[in-house]
Structure 1
Amino acid sequence: MNMHKLVKVLASAGIAATVVTSTQIADSNDGMNTVEAAESKSSNYKYEGDTGYGDGNFLLNDALIKTLEEDGDLAFNGHTIEASEADYEKRADTEYETTKEHDQKFTLYDGTATKVVFPIQEEMLSIDEVTEAYGDDYEIEESKKGKFETYVFKLGDQKKNTDKNIIAFKVEDSYVTQVTIGYSKSY
């Protein structure tokens, strides 16, 4: 099968052209370095726009989860987010400001966000879907009046818990209503 025909078959099957590119890279002499560079770029995640008007399924995206686990570059609406408790502690002695972009609220220290909070449309994303995607290694914090629970996930293979990135899901009646990415003293 010639290369043109292969591309056509892959395209008709809905398989991304990167498959072909990866095959061509592997044939070149420096294929390993190129492939590693491509893999490291895959742990970046950038989100643009509102979060609360959709169904929240972007939170189940493997690229987002991998970025949190690998401490990759994470950004929402142009704000880079440093999402571990250690990232927060490094900046806690400086003044902070809050800002809002679309429906997300950011806490910024010297221009770097240590936390973003945003809504998720009601009854669209269940906590069961979240635990299926993120696993069962989480802590549950109860609200003071018992109206909701917050599932807090610390992601990554760092030895210290304070170095792991945090994502927290506020849950009411088994559905996510709000998400926090980054450290917070209370969720």
Structure 2
Amino acid sequence: MNMHSLVRVLASAGIAATVVTSAHVAAEEDGHNTVEAAESTNTHYKYQGDTGYGDGSFLTNDALINTLEEDGDLSFNGHIIEASEDDYEKHSDKEYKLVKEKDQKFTTYGGTATKVVFPIQDEELAIEDITEAYGDDFEIEESKDGKHETYVYKLGDQEDDTKKNIIAFKVEDGYVTQSTIGYSKSYK
């Protein structure tokens, strides 16, 4: 075997070993991809992975809150989210499409996501943690069946509430079970 062939074989073996190692790290015992990573710079927040297998603590992250308050760039699994009622109105004349990525459901209009809905693991994130992180300026919407309530926050310093970004937390028995980022006509 000449030196050139030996280098190709070793390079192929290295790539294969990297792929096998990466696959092992990404999969846990239950087979679910539970990568929960976020990165932030200034008012940019990027989330990759599932939301429902972790403890939901990323929702109380200052970087996420600041990005929503300052109308920065927010993305979940590659979908940029425009989260105000005004953003929704700008795109609502287009046909909408529901897109699922990991355990998140996106409402998109012409490729622009105006809402993402995702689960939070049961009994992990107390509503007290949310109100401590976001404050007391929220509205509560009761469900028709009385089984849950939704805390709705409009974030930002804009005078017009329709220009503020929205995040909502579905709460059952004192714990967040689902969150919505973006405008919805009803959070019930």
TM-score after normalising by structure 1? 0.78
More strand by share: 2
How far apart, CA to CA, are the structure 1 residues paired with 2:100 and 2:182?
Answer: 16
Q: For residues 92 and 144 of structure 2, what CA distance do their matches in structure 1 show?
A: 25
Q: Which amino acid aligns with 1:161?
A: D
Identity %: 76
Tell me the alpha carbon deviations over residues 142-178 of structure 1, each in whole angstroms, 9 at most, x when there is no partner: 0001000000000000010000000000000000000
- Equivalent position of 2:158 in the other structure: 158
What pairs with 1:114-133 in structure 2 (closer than 5 Å)? Answer: 114-133=114-133
Counterpart-to-counterpart distance in 2, 1:75 and 1:141: 26
SS at match of 2:130: helix
Instruction: Give me the whole-angstrom Cα distance separating, in 2, the residues matched to 1:56 and 1:145.
Output: 25
Q: Answer 1 or 2: which has greater helix percent.
A: 1
Query: Which secondary structure state, in structure 1, belongs to the residue aligned with residue 64 of structure 2?
Result: helix
Q: Does 1:173 pair with 2:181? A: no
In 2, Cα distance between equivalents of 1:76 and 1:158: 24
Cα deviation, 1:7-56, whole Å, max 9, x if unaligned, reads xxxxxxxxxxxxxxxxxxxxxxxxxxxxxxxxx94110000000000000
1:48 partnered with 2:48:
yes
The aligned residue for residue 143 of structure 2 is 143
**Number of residue pairs the alignment of both structures matches:** 148
Amino acid corresponding to residue 44 of structure 1 in structure 2: H
Unaligned runs of 5+ in 1: 1-39
Gaps of 5+ in 2: 1-39
Q: Which residue in the other structure is 2:101 paired with?
A: 101
- For 1:133 and 1:95, how far apart are their aligned partners in 2? 35
Distance 1:116 1:41 in 2: 21
- State the partner residue of 2:32: none
Identify the residue that residue 91 of structure 2 maps to in structure 1: 91
SS of the residue 1:53 aligns to = coil
Q: Distance in 2 between matches of 1:184 and 1:156?
A: 17
Quick one: distance in 1 between partners of 2:112 and 2:79?
7
2:161 and 2:41 map into 1 onto residues whose CA distance is: 25
Whole-angstrom CA distance in 2 between matches of 1:46 and 1:127:
23
AA matched with 1:106: F
Please state whether the residue corresponding to 1:48 is helix, strand or coil.
Answer: strand
Letter in 2 for 1:180: T
Question: What value does the CA root-mean-square deviation take over the aligned residues?
Answer: 1.0
Q: Give the TM-score normalised by structure 2.
A: 0.78
The structure 1 segments of at least 4 consecutive aligned residues displaced by more than 4 Å after TM superposition are none
2:117 counterpart SS class: strand
| Structure 1 residue 112, shift from structure 2 partner | 0.8
**Using the alignment, how far apart are the partners of 1:112 and 1:41 within structure 2?**
22
> Matches of residues 58-73 of structure 1 in structure 2 within 5 Å?
58-73=58-73
